[in-house]
Structure 1
């Protein structure tokens, strides 16, 4: 099966010498179409910065990023955003407080050249488990889980092949997290989506992903399958520490 996304020797840095900070160091991985890949590590390990580099949200990076086997340049064009969309951690911050759900989805559909918007919006809402009654509500009229469903609907609107998921449930109540994760699993199967998921929660990654890269201080220290992770079979000391900490937390 073809590679949906390939990262080769990705470096990301902030500032200039002598104050330069290297946030991502020589990160490489590849994801086949339809797979779900996890980036795990503590806060500050560089995992979210990898997603921001893919989407063009960081100014200084080097290496190769290939989407659908085509190399990305310095700028991201509209074709890129039809293929790759991102779901952010905080659904309240990522939705305009004065825009209704209808406007959020309409503007995204129009931007990507879709017609028949009145038909597409109810379908998008249905895809994420919301009724048409939510169409003209504002973000402050929605719960955290409902806001994240709208954010997912917005990401689905351009009919992308790849979703980048940056801690998509960490800002939500525990009772809602499982609902959103199950929704994402269903959407991946239904639309044959490829996922890159960032999380500090190994249980979430274990539920969602096929393969995992463990990051520490900006570098990937270990790659492992989720089966290996579940069996606590890490090789690198930091990966072992993460797994042991997660097991103690769940206990």
Structure 2
């Protein structure tokens, strides 16, 4: 579903150019959930944004469903295949647009018909129901906003979801609900996930494999089972696991 080879991402221009990602390479099979972990500034979210077309200063090769993408230009067919869920549900929804407006606009942009039925189904899929359809973001909790953001991503009927810290801005009590929702949606719709998180327990729960990043480089790719055992080939990986507060190796 996703193949990334020799990916470099940078910001600025010479002589002040800053390398954000260097020689990243990984692949994700259809239906797999793949994680990117590492400390803040390691380049995890930058990789997602380059894939999504939100950054144009990159080189290398990105293929989605066997089709190469270039620069920051993405056509409608790309966004029918790939959608992104952002970290902050408070910032990713327009404060003056109702849930109905958010979902209607997305469906129209994707050329979808039968919008009324599709909105009802999307709200049901994310556990909100039609009673939330005409509410505004300020009338929703953080978890409810993130459910709307997930519904918006699902509106295009994508095959690949890019999840950028989808629960880190939420209360701890709500995080598990959203993670369980994402797991259920993946099983129900046959989705492929690439998930960024600083929380190793989340990645261990949600993903089959993961890449460990430091200073813009992928140090190693390992299984979630190895993560749960506290194993890692690279010394940084072992230190990261040991330093993860609240992480259990059970």
**TM over 0.5: same fold?**
yes
Correspondence for 2:238 = 240
Q: Choose which of 46, 58, 61 in structure 2 pairs with 1:64.
A: 61
Give 1:74-153 correspondences, 5 Å limit: 74=71, 75-153=73-151
Partners of 1:233 and 1:88 lie apart in 2 by 30
The CA deviation string for residues 54-77 of structure 1, in whole angstroms up to 9 with x for no partner, is 011112100000000111122111
Which residue of structure 2 aligns with residue 203 of structure 1? 201
Match of 2:47 in 1: 50
Cα deviation, residue 250, structure 1: 3.9
Using the alignment, how far apart are the partners of 1:229 and 1:180 within structure 2?
22
Query: Which of 19, 31, 36 is 1:34 aligned to?
Result: 31
Q: Structure 1 residue runs of 4+, over 4 Å off? A: none
Q: Tell me the equivalent position of 1:11.
A: 8
Specify the SS of the correspondent of 1:249.
Answer: coil
Task: Tell me the distance in 2 between the aligned counterparts of 1:152 and 1:120.
Answer: 14
1 CA distance for matches of 2:191 and 2:129?
A: 23
Encode CA deviations 1:195-248: one digit per residue, 9 max, x unaligned: 0000000000011000010000000001100001101111101100110012x5
Aligned to 2:134, the other structure's residue is in SS state coil
Give, in angstroms, the shift of residue 79 of structure 1: 0.7
What RMSD, in angstroms, separates the aligned Cα atoms of the two structures? 0.8
Equivalence map 1:187-226=2 (5 Å): 187-226=185-224
Matched position secondary structure for 1:16: coil
TM-score norm. by structure 1 comes to: 0.97
Q: Which moved more, 1:149-158 or 1:67-76?
A: 67-76
Using the TM superposition, give the Cα deviation of residue 164 of structure 1 relative to its aligned residue in structure 2, in angstroms.
0.1
Tell me how far 1:183 sits from its aligned partner: 0.2
Q: Which runs of 5+ in 2 are unaligned?
A: none
Contact 2:200 2:247 in 1 (8 A): no
What TM-score, normalized to structure 2?
0.97
Helix, strand or coil: the match of 2:26? Answer: strand
**How many residues are aligned here?**
247
Tell me, which stretches of 5 or more residues in structure 1 are unaligned?
A: none
